[in-house]
Chain A
Amino acid sequence: MSPTTASEEQPLLQVDGLTKHFPGRGGLFGRGGKPVKAVDGVSFSVPAGGTLGIVGESGCGKSTTGRLLMRLIDPTSGSIRLDGREIGELNRAEMQEYRRQVQMVFQNPTSSLNPRQSIGSAIAAPLQAQRIDPPGGIKARVRELMDRVGLRPDHYNRFPHEFSGGQKQRVGIARALALDPRLIICDEPVSALDVSVQAQVVNLLDDIQRDTGVAYVFVAHDLSVVRHFADRVAVMYLGRIMESGPTRDVFGAPRHPYTKALLSAVPQADPDAERGRRIRLSGDLPTPADPPSGCVFRTRCPLRPQLEEGEQRRCAGEVPGGEGGPACHFPDRTSVLATELA
């Protein structure tokens, strides 16, 4: 991280060395086995009103990161600070306040709503849970929220099954907004939705941010949506961040070969887009219980054929990446990779 950004005002959310190891299974009495390193030393920050996209493929730890931020699970180590305050050290009342300020929107709007609870009371639930009595009463506040997300007032007493996926996701967003949070963790909020509806929801989230200044951590596998939506992006692989930075830079000129490969694999809805530039990743994702030594990406790295023996040894022996830069020993080769294949 450059000194200029460090001297800027404190970020809303600062995460350092966040790690979550799930206990492994195996052995005669189920205690042996290596721990699964779901998230392994992840650091990032989100400024107030900003959006951080966390992208990666299944098993990369992006959803676990979201759950750690929500404190749905406890981290193994590392620090999460909101406004500079370490949340591991908060007392009960302060934790309650943290839970008010950080809200979540889930991937599956159907399973995250209680089918027997009306839309109105679903949105009112967080207000009641936090014992907040808004001026004008809870009902008025709920109607205001429903209006905010584009639901009609007469939807108040309806039940989830009467709604489409897109409408249900609006309910989920209204519920997350009920407590005026400063940060919303969106875990794949549009991936269960149809394309045309997806755009409605993305735009809604965009509008809400502009109006309320809420910050988002947007966990998604769809790179195109993240490209549109996030100012900064972190690309994860096997529990670690491979590359992060302003979305424009990371997507425009990726410095990590994994980012490059990921981007090249996205099918373009453009018949004239150049074909055959795809960087193929060979093999399967290694198990997070036994990740490769050194650079976790080295077993599938497209740079590998170009590396000399000594360079390969370095990849296997040394964990790459320092402050802010891509987690790669040879980031300069990534652009070479591109020109060769273009």
Chain B
Amino acid sequence: MPHEKTPDPSRGAAEPLLRIRDLHVSFPTDDGTVHAVNGMDLTLGRGETVGLVGESGSGKTVTSQALMGLLKETRASVTGEILFDGTDLNALDEDRMRAWRGKKIAMIFQDPLSAMHPFHTVGAQIAEAYRVHNKVSRKAATAVAVDMLGRVGIPDPKRRAAAHPHEFSGGMRQRAMIAMALVCEPELLIADEPTTALDVTVQAQILDLLGDLQRETGTAVVLVTHDLGVVAEVCHQVVVMYGGQCVERGAMRDVFRDPRHPYAQGLLASMPSLADTAGRLTPIPGFPPSLTTLPAGCLFADRCPQTHLVPDDLCRSARPELAGSAAHPSRCHQEVHAIQREAAR
């Protein structure tokens, strides 16, 4: 399917590996339509890591499912473009999508214990992932699996390959999961909260491992997380999501240093930090919007402390578009109308 290839202004002429444009996903339910994703934009270069940050209900998990093409057989309606290497995944038929799934795009999950089959050995599960896309014997695939387990830092991989997931510790399981995802050397890895269920010292090990493997293989990573600390450690790019929208995106350093969107500002302020001395946290008041009845205006308006800066009550009547600098846009009326921001936030 031919697509007009417009160069990304922020990245020169090189075509990015992944570009999501105006993705919308909604699900019909008994309680009305759930608008899970309402305008998702993302650009990711080869070998880069982008952090998809947001709280529960922000649409980050649904976005990752859309990337895997796993929404097609559900009742979800998906519109917009997901350009992977120039091909729109959303327009791809199931057979071709399946050939890519696991091969070009792979995924790891939050809870490796439930994400692995309890009855099959770890080695067999990795070998299966390899054999889906490579015509090799079971024996050869097992050898690949053992090798892969060694690469993700599992000691005595040959013996451990014959063990079942429940015989692994949490960290070892996530390593095995990573081995399973990377065994076909995909170009893109979607990591959905990969360290949320782990202890902090184990989380550190896993993040190190992901970084090492990424440098080795050049795989690009979409890291879905709610933890801004994790993002600051490993991501080049950040996409901040709220109510199923990308409300801000840009280089990690820019977003952390100069958050443009009031939600991003609030999120950063509400994080307790180890460096802080004891003191009060700054929460964002209120709760995220209901995804069945979206407000007419900005989805964050109800919780936003800055609506008074925008004239004509625009925040409650009109949905802002992504605006501002191409490298660091945000979805706020202040950006749209270039309203002078308060000097002291």
Contacts and interface: CB of A to CB of B under 8 A. Distances in A.
A194 B55 contact: yes
A251 B169 CA distance: 28
5 contacts: A57-B201, A224-B273, A227-B273, A262-B200, A278-B208
Given A199-B281, A267-B233, A269-B268, A227 B276 contact: yes
A228 interface: yes
Given A267-B230, A273-B275, 16 more contacts: A57-B200, A164-B287, A194-B56, A195-B228, A195-B270, A196-B283, A199-B283, A221-B199, A221-B200, A228-B276, A228-B278, A228-B279, A264-B204, A267-B233, A270-B275, A284-B172
A280 interface: yes
B231 A269 contact: yes
Given A57-B200, A248-B277, A271-B257, A195 B232 contact: no
| Interface size of B as a range | 35 or more
Contacts of B201: 57, 261-262, 265, 281
Interface string A145-176: 00000000000000000001111000000000
A223 B271 contact: no
A89 B67 CA distance: 61
A225 B272 contact: yes
A contact patch SS? helix
Nearest to A164: B287
B62 interface: no
Contact of A196 (B171, B203, B252, B266): B266
A281 B257 CA distance: 31
A229 to B, nearest CB: 7
Contacts of A224: 229, 271-274
Contacts of B285: 200
Given A261-B201, A269-B232, A271-B253, A284 B169 contact: yes
A19 interface: no
Interface in A249-281: 251, 261-271, 273, 275, 278, 280-281
B143 interface: no
A247 B278 contact: yes
A197 interface: yes
Closest 3 A/B residue pairs (Cβ):
A267-B229, A199-B283, A194-B55
Contacts of B266: 196
A197 B267 CA distance: 10
A63 to B, nearest CB: 13
Nearest to A228: B272
Contacts of A166: 287
Interface string B197-218: 0011111110110000000000
A300 to B, nearest CB: 9
A275 B56 contact: no
A247 B274 CA distance: 11
Contacts of A70: none
A338 interface: no
Interface of B: 55-56, 169-172, 199-205, 207-208, 226-233, 252-253, 256-257, 266-268, 270-285, 287
A269 B203 contact: no
Interface of A: 57-58, 164-167, 194-200, 202-203, 206, 221-225, 227-229, 231, 247-248, 251, 261-271, 273, 275, 278, 280-281, 284-285
Nearest to A273: B232
Given A270-B232, A270-B273, A271-B256, A200 B171 contact: no
Contacts of B274: 223-224, 227, 251, 263, 266, 268
Contacts of B227: 267
Contacts of B281: 199, 202-203, 228
B200 A265 contact: yes
A223 B200 contact: yes
Contact of B204 (A227, A270, A278): A278
A269 B229 CA distance: 4
Contact of B284 (A196, A228, A264, A267): A196
A218 to B, nearest CB: 13
Which has the most chain A C-beta neighbours within 10 Å: B56, B227, B283?
B283
Nearest to A285: B169
Contacts of A199: 270, 272, 281-284
B166 to A, nearest CB: 14
Given A194-B56, A196-B55, A284-B171, A269 B273 contact: yes
